Amino acid sequence: MITLNLLHPIEATPIQTWKFESEPVIRIGRSGDNDVILYSSVVSRYHVEIHRHPLHWEIVNIGANGTYINDQPIEKERVQDGITIRLAATGPKLQILLDGAGSPTPLQQIAATQPVTSKKPSDNRPTFMPRK
């Protein structure tokens, strides 16, 4: 199974989710005949495809405005569990989860939005404590 989460542009939390069980290709874009339809002026009608291979998934950019991972444009890239792609330089972000990983847990969502902080070597307290 593969899960796609549309992420909130500021909070980086999922605002919409799509799950796919057995599709060989998942098409993403503005056009109504895509598997995932995103209405954004920077998203191409047919922007990106995610292809199933026997042992992995692969992202293929087909849009005019590009697809980005870590602010770097890609043409083809192997999917890693938890990877986030951006459609166009300023477009929506999609997080990709593999093999039934499902949506991130609330703790994972909180941790993903927490700033990275350093602590002094003598400070043994954790920098983040989840609520019970």
Three-state DSSP state, 107: helix
Tell the CATH topology of 2-98: Tumour Suppressor Smad4 (2.60.200)
Share of the chain above pLDDT 70, in %: 75
pLDDT of residue 22: 86
pLDDT of residue 50: 98
pTM of the model: 0.73
Cβ-based burial of 76 (10 A; exposed 0-12, middle 13-18, buried ≥19)? exposed
Quick one: residue 63, left, alpha or beta (phi over 0 = left, psi -120 to 50 = alpha)? beta
Confidence of residue 99 (pLDDT cuts 50, 70, 90): confident
Q: For 112, phi and psi rounded to 5 degrees?
A: -70, -25
pLDDT at 56 over 50: yes
User: For the segment 15-54, what is each residue's pLDDT rounded down to a tens digit?
Assistant: 999 999 989 999 999 999 999 999 999 999 999 999 999 9
- Asked whether the beta carbons of 50 and 23 are under 8 A apart, the reply is no
| Per-domain boundaries in the chain | 2-98
Confidence of residue 129 (pLDDT cuts 50, 70, 90): very low
pLDDT of residue 123: 43
User: For the segment 59-77, what is each residue's pLDDT rounded down to a tens digit?
Assistant: 999 999 999 999 999 999 9
pLDDT of residue 95: 97
